[in-house]
Amino acid sequence: MADGKATERTELTYGQVGGGPGSLIGPVHRAALAMNDQAELVAGSFSWLYDETLEAAKNLRVSAERAYRTFQEMAERESQRADGIDFAVITTPNHLHYEVAKSFLENGIHVVCDKPLCLTMEEAEHLLELVRETKLEFMVTYTYTGYPMVREARQIIRNGDLGDIRIVVAEYPQAWLAEPVEEKGNMQASWRTSPKYAGVSNSVGDIGTHIENIVHFATGLEIERLSAKLETFVRGRKLDDNAYILLDYSNDASGNYWVSQVAVGNENALRFRVIGTEGSLDWRQEQPDLLLLSRKEKPAMILSKGNDYLNRESRLFARLPPGHPEGYFEAFANLYRDFCGKLVSIKQGRKDEKLFTDVLDGARGVKFVHDCVRSSKQGSEWIDGSFNL
């Protein structure tokens, strides 16, 4: 670790719901946790098919005794064990997030949930209420907040180096749904484009929420109102695959977001630019170790991950020396490092503050999706986008 910060080892244990055979994101969570050596996987309900759960448990060296048929059984039985899990990791399709999270919270177990938090505002409000009542920790894994240079951007903005923020421009174009691959056996596409499993939106719900989150995380800006136009280009598809969103923030700044999964020529091109009265910055996910910083009447600078000239907060998030590329797995691992660090501090009776995207961030994302859908259905009418939960 940069600056000599070691990962704090402890006897934390966790269980996973979802992430069985064929899962994309489940192995990512496990790999990220393994990178930190902070928690051991000891339980799971990895699939709705029990045979697949048993297969996954065997491959992951989880005892068959703690390979559960359902997440409800897992939550109840783990909460009753003297050696029960410290937290549960939810890596199921989106439509199950609420019920799984609710079950573990009601059984007194901390939760990590892949984004989105859930599908409806009623569900989001209930989970937020449960977290406040139980005082349990709840992380929503917005991956890109774990990149060192996103942390650097956040600190530059919080330091006031850009002056007053005027404009935010962000985009997230992909091309993987440019054809109706959901009709050709692509299971990821099948459930992400289905209202039953993805909710009211595909592109905004899937990747637009990453824009909303990373902008809020970096800038602290709160949306005041927005106007959205959601489009569906692939014939027969029931949910949006492209969207344009205009925003006004509470500090009089304005924003412009573009979300697309039919943008041929793009892979995973998340990008955000923040322009203030004294300077601007530009970060791109496909070149995550770099941050372009421009200041009024000074040459533009390309800042690079891990160097001593960066803020201490971002240096602590670099796992390798400058020039050694870091990426998606490391960003995920950074989120887990802080979450597990928080649980360790609780176990040891301390009150350490750790920064990770939580249930409140998840609820904010759910509202953003629903606001965009409502505005689009009303002819891109400007609507109240403020978040007051």
Q: What is the mean pLDDT, run by run of 10 residues, along the chain of 389 residues?
A: 45 94 90 95 96 96 97 98 97 95 98 96 98 97 97 97 98 98 91 93 97 98 98 97 98 97 98 98 98 96 96 93 94 96 92 91 98 98 94
Q: 49: closest CA among 64, 69, 30? A: 69
CATH, residue 102? 3.40.50.720
Looking at the DSSP assignment, which residues form a beta bridge with residue 293?
281, 301
Instruction: Give residue 185's domain range.
Output: 147-312+364-384
CA gap 29, 22 in Å, rounded: 14
Question: Is 161 part of a structural domain of the chain?
Answer: yes
CATH, residue 262? 3.30.360.10
Q: Are strands 12-18 and 39-45 parallel, antiparallel or unpaired?
A: parallel
Cα angle 223, 219, 343 (rounded to 5 degrees) comes to 100
Burial class (CB in 10 A: 0-12, 13-18, 19+), 163: middle
pLDDT digit string (tens) for 350-379?
A: 888 889 999 999 999 999 999 999 999 999
Are residue 125 and residue 244 in the same domain, yes or no? no
**What's the total number of domains in the chain?**
2
Q: Are strands 279-284 and 271-276 parallel, antiparallel or unpaired?
A: antiparallel
CB of 279 closer than 8 Å to CB of 294: yes
Are residue 104 and residue 196 in the same domain, yes or no? no
Question: Is 221 part of a structural domain of the chain?
Answer: yes
Burial class (CB in 10 A: 0-12, 13-18, 19+), 275: middle
CA gap 258, 357 in Å, rounded: 22
User: In this structure, what are the phi and psi dihedrals at residue 319, rounded to the nearest 5 degrees?
Assistant: -95, -20
Question: Is 272 part of a structural domain of the chain?
Answer: yes
Question: Is 12 part of a structural domain of the chain?
Answer: yes
Are residue 133 and residue 160 in the same domain, yes or no? no
pLDDT of residue 66: 98
Are residue 79 and residue 47 in the same domain, yes or no? yes
Question: Is 258 part of a structural domain of the chain?
Answer: yes
pLDDT of residue 6: 44
pLDDT digit string (tens) for 316-362?
A: 999 999 999 999 999 999 999 999 999 999 999 888 888 999 999 99
Are residue 379 and residue 285 in the same domain, yes or no? yes
Tokens of 271: 């990008």
User: In this structure, what are the phi and psi dihedrals at residue 159, rounded to the nearest 5 degrees?
Assistant: -75, -10
CA gap 306, 149 in Å, rounded: 9
The pTM assigned to this predicted structure is 0.93
pLDDT of residue 2: 38
CB of 25 closer than 8 Å to CB of 337: no
